[in-house]
Chains A and B, each alone.
Chain A
Amino acid sequence: MAEVKVKKETNLSDPVEVENRIKELCQQFPQGITDQVIQNDMPHLEPQQRAMAINKLLSLGQLDLLRNSAGLLYRLKDSQSTSKMKGSDNQEKLVYQIIEDAGNKGIWSRDIRFKSNLPLTEINKILKNLESKKLIKAVKSVAASKKKVYMLYNLQPDRSVTGGAWYSDQDFESEFVEVLNQQCFKFLQSKAEAARDNKQSPMVQRNSSFATSHEVWKYICELGISKVDLSMDDIETILNTLIYDGKVEMTVIAAKEGTVGSVDGQMKLYRGVNTIIQPTGLVKTPCGLCPVFDDCHEGGEISPSNCIYMSEWLDF
Chain B
Amino acid sequence: MTAQEVRLCGLLLREHFGEVVEKVGTHLLKCGAQNLRTIIHETGLSVDLVKKSLCVLVQHGASTFSSGRKGPGSPTEYHTSCDRILRILRYPRYIYTAKTLYGDTGELIIEELLQRGHTTMSSTVKTVADRLTQNMAEGLTMDYSEVSSTFSKLVETHFLQRCPPLPRTPATPGTPAAPVNTAPPTPESFPECYKVPSVTLIGRGKRQLASEDGEEQRSAKRAKMDPQTHGDEGIYWQVNFERFHLHFRDQTIISAVANKLDQTSSEIVRTMLRMSEVTTSPMATCTKPLSANEIFRSLPPSYNILRPILDQYLTLLVDDPMEFVGKAGESGGGMFVVNLHRALANLARATLESVVQERFGSRSARIFRLLLRKRHLEQKQVEDFAMIPAKEAKDMLYTLLSQNLVQLQEIPKTPDYAPSRTFYLYTVNQLPTARMLLQSCYKTVANLVERRLFETKESKRLLEKSQRIEAILASLQVSGAEPEQLTEVEEMITAPEKQQLDTLRLHINKLDSAENQVDETIFLLESYINSTNASS
Interface residues of A (CB under 8 A from B): 166, 172, 174, 177, 181, 196, 201-203, 206, 237-238, 240-241, 243-246, 249, 251, 273-277, 279-285, 287-289, 293, 296, 298, 303-305, 307, 310, 313-315
**C-alpha spacing A268/B427, complex, angstroms:** 27
| Cβ B451 vs Cβ A310 within 8 A | yes
- Chain B 499-536 interface mask (CB, 8 Å, partner A; 1/0): 00001001100110010111111001000000000000
**Beta-carbon contact of B437 and A275 below 8 Å:** no
**Contact flag A241-B358 (CB < 8 Å), given A284-B514, A304-B450:** no
What CA separation (Å) do A281 and B518 show in the bound complex?
5
Asked whether A288 lies within 8 Å of B386 as measured between CB atoms, the reply is: no
The minimal Cβ–Cβ distance linking A280 to chain B, given in whole angstroms, is 5
Decide: B437 and A282 in contact? CB cutoff 8 A.
yes
CB <8 Å contact, A304 and B358: no
CB<8 Å pairs between A and B, sample of 29: A201-B309, A202-B265, A206-B316, A241-B366, A241-B386, A244-B369, A251-B321, A273-B260, A274-B260, A275-B350, A276-B260, A276-B322, A276-B346, A277-B252, A277-B256, A277-B347, A277-B354, A280-B521, A280-B524, A282-B444, A283-B359, A285-B444, A285-B517, A285-B518, A288-B355, A293-B440, A293-B443, A304-B448, A314-B511
B191 within 8 A of A: no
With beta carbons under 8 angstroms apart, the residue of A172, A240, A296 that contacts B389 is A172
Task: Report the Cα distance A276→B358, complex, angstroms.
Answer: 16
* Residues of B within 8 A of A (CB-CB), count: 63
Q: State whether the Cβ of B387 lies closer than 8 Å to any Cβ in chain A.
A: yes
Q: Are A288 and B346 in contact (CB under 8 A)?
A: no
Contacts of A279 in B (CB 8 A): 354, 357-358
Which residue of chain A is the closest to B311 with respect to CB atoms? A203
Could you tell me the distance in whole angstroms from the C-beta of A196 to the nearest C-beta in chain B?
8
Q: Are the C-beta atoms of B316 and A276 separated by less than 8 Å?
A: no
Contacts of B440 in A (CB 8 A): 282, 287-288, 293
Q: Ordered nearest first, which 7 A-B pairs have the shortest CB separation?
A: A281-B517, A283-B358, A287-B444, A304-B447, A276-B256, A305-B454, A281-B521
**Chain B interface main SS type:** helix
Minimum Cβ distance to chain B for residue A135 (Å):
33
Q: In whole angstroms, what is the CA distance A123 to B322 when docked? A: 59
B315 engages A246 (CB within 8 Å): no
B366: A residues at CB distance < 8 A: 241, 244-245
Tell me whether A307 and B451 are in contact in the complex, defined as CB-CB below 8 angstroms, given that A281-B517, A282-B437, A289-B358 are known contacts: yes
Chain A: which residue is nearest B454 at the CB level? A305
Q: Answer whether A282 and B316 are a contact pair too, CB < 8 Å, given A172-B389, A240-B385.
A: no
Roughly how many angstroms separate A148 CA and B346 CA in the complex, as a whole number?
47
Residue from the set B259, B262, B354 with the largest chain A CB neighbour count within 10 Å: B354
Contacts of B503 in A (CB 8 A): 315
What's the dominant secondary structure at chain A's contact region? helix
* Contact assessment for A245 and B362 in the assembled complex, using a CB-CB cutoff below 8 Å: yes
Q: Are A283 and B355 in contact (CB under 8 A)?
A: yes
Known: A174-B388, A177-B387, A289-B358. A280 touches B321 (CB 8 A): no
Q: Which residue of A lies closest to B519 (CB)?
A: A281
What residues of A have a CB within 8 angstroms of the CB of B446 in the complex? 304
CA distance A307 to B511 in the complex (A): 13
| B244-268 interface (Cβ within 8 A of A) | 252, 255-256, 259-260, 262, 264-265
B451 touches A241 (CB 8 A): no
Contact residue among A166, A244, A281, A313 (Cβ-Cβ distance under 8 Å from B373): A244
Which residues on the A side are within 8 Å of B365 (C-beta)? 245-246
B423 within 8 A of partner (CB): no
Given contacts A244-B369, A280-B354, contact A288 B454 (CB under 8 A): no
**Taking the complex as formed, is B296 at the interface, i.e. its CB lies under 8 A from any CB of chain A?**
no
Tell whether, in the assembled complex, residue A285 and residue B369 are in contact, meaning their CB atoms are under 8 Å apart: no
Complex: how many Å from CA A289 to CA B520? 17
- Partner among B350, B516, B517 whose Cβ is within 8 Å of the Cβ of A276: B350
Cβ–Cβ contact B256 & A280, under 8 A: no
Q: Which residue of A277, A304, A305 contacts B259 across the interface (Cβ within 8 Å)?
A: A277
Shortest distance from the beta carbon of A204 to any chain B beta carbon, whole Å: 9
B96 contacts chain A at the CB level, 8 A cutoff: no
Q: Is the CB of B315 within 8 A of A287?
A: no
Residues in A whose Cβ lies below 8 Å from that of B507:
314
From B256, which residue of chain A is reached at the shortest CB distance?
Answer: A276
Q: Is the CB of A287 within 8 A of B347?
A: no
- Asked if A287 and B447 make an inter-chain contact with CB atoms under 8 angstroms apart, the answer reads yes
Enumerate chain A residues within 8 angstroms of B319, measured Cβ to Cβ: 251
Shortest CB-to-CB span from B308 to chain A, Å, is 8
Partner of B518, one of A172, A282, A305, A315: A282
Q: Which residue of B lies closest to A305 (CB)?
A: B454
Residues of A contacting B264 in the complex (Cβ-Cβ under 8 angstroms) = 202
Closest B residue by C-beta to A173: B389
| Set of chain B residues within 8 Å of A174, measured between Cβ atoms | 387-389
Using CB atoms, name the residue of chain B closest to A174. B389
- In the assembled complex, B390 has its CB within 8 A of some CB on chain A: yes
Whether a CB of chain A sits under 8 angstroms from the CB of B107 is no
- Chain B: minimal CB distance from A142 (Å): 10
Alpha-carbon distance between A177 and B365 when the two chains are bound, in angstroms? 17
B64 interface contact, C-beta 8 A: no
